Amino acid sequence: MPDLPEPIPAATLVLMREVVAGPPELLVTERTGQMAFAAGALVFPGGRIDAEDEEAGAHFPAFADAAARIAAIRETIEETGLAPAIAPVPDAAVSAALRHGVESGTDFLDLLNRNGLTLDLESLSPFARWCPNFRETRRFDTLFYLGEAPAGAPEPEVRPHEAVRAFWASAAAILAELDAGRAHAIFPTRRNLERLARFGSIAEARADAARHEVVRITPWVEERDGRPHVCIPEDIGYPVTSEPLETARRR
């Protein structure tokens, strides 16, 4: 589709935490209605992979996707104030200092070094890669990772110009909010929530991620039962692989 914009490399972190009873909870934010992409939608923390992420990734040659992992961590810190995949686990004061440093443009690795911290890239599990071809203002080629929230992490705090709230909930509870019309999400987010809703623990979700090769998913439209549906491949780990076109872009 030559009229589509070139996809922007991006990374997203599905941050999870175990609860006393029930499936793990996921961290999601609700974007403001003024955002150029996915305005007003529920999303996982994330954003574009910057040149600085690529430079930082060169320090981790064991990971071909180091820049994406770093971007996912950095964006989560910036968007929510939580600092996952960092050792030792930073306390609330250090997490706040990291967020301030990221927001002010301080080099991320220098910021970590100053605070005696290192990145634990291995703690992130590759989960998916989505590159939709919908005609959006911006188009992203996004790598998704699973990660566990740091122990004793403070409650998330959003950046007011980007999101109106951040909250923890199970995948099933988030889907219920979408079905009730109290929130909406773009097609890839909904499919990822449906996939994650099947798991009763973070370990189960990680095991499922390890069983499926991460392939670039670009949905397509085809007629099914006389109606156009947006579809994805059947064999890559998703329990729902099609949705009517009229609901697929916003739900």
Is residue 3 in a domain? no
Is residue 234 in a domain? yes
User: What is the Cα–Cα distance from 160 to 38, expressed in whole angstroms?
Assistant: 16
pLDDT at position 123 is: 98
Is residue 75 in a domain? yes
User: What is the Cα–Cα distance from 212 to 128, expressed in whole angstroms?
Assistant: 9
pTM: 0.93
pLDDT at position 58 is: 97
Is residue 1 in a domain? no
Residue 47 in contact with residue 35, Cβ under 8 Å?
no
Which residue type does 91 have? Answer: D
Question: What is the domain range of residue 26?
Answer: 8-248
Helix (H), strand (E), coil (C) string for 188-249: HHHHHHHHHCCCCCHHHHHHHHHHCCCCEECCEEEEECCEEEEECCCCCCCCCCEEEHHHHC
Question: Where residue 178 sits, what CATH number does that domain have?
Answer: 3.90.79.10
Is residue 199 in a domain? yes
Total number of domains constituting the chain? 1
pLDDT at position 163 is: 77
- Per-residue pLDDT, averaged over 32-55, amounts to 80
Is residue 58 in a domain? yes
Is residue 192 in a domain? yes
Q: pLDDT per residue over 235-247, tens digit each?
A: 999 999 999 988 8
Over 50: is that where the pLDDT of 4 sits? yes
Is residue 2 in a domain? no
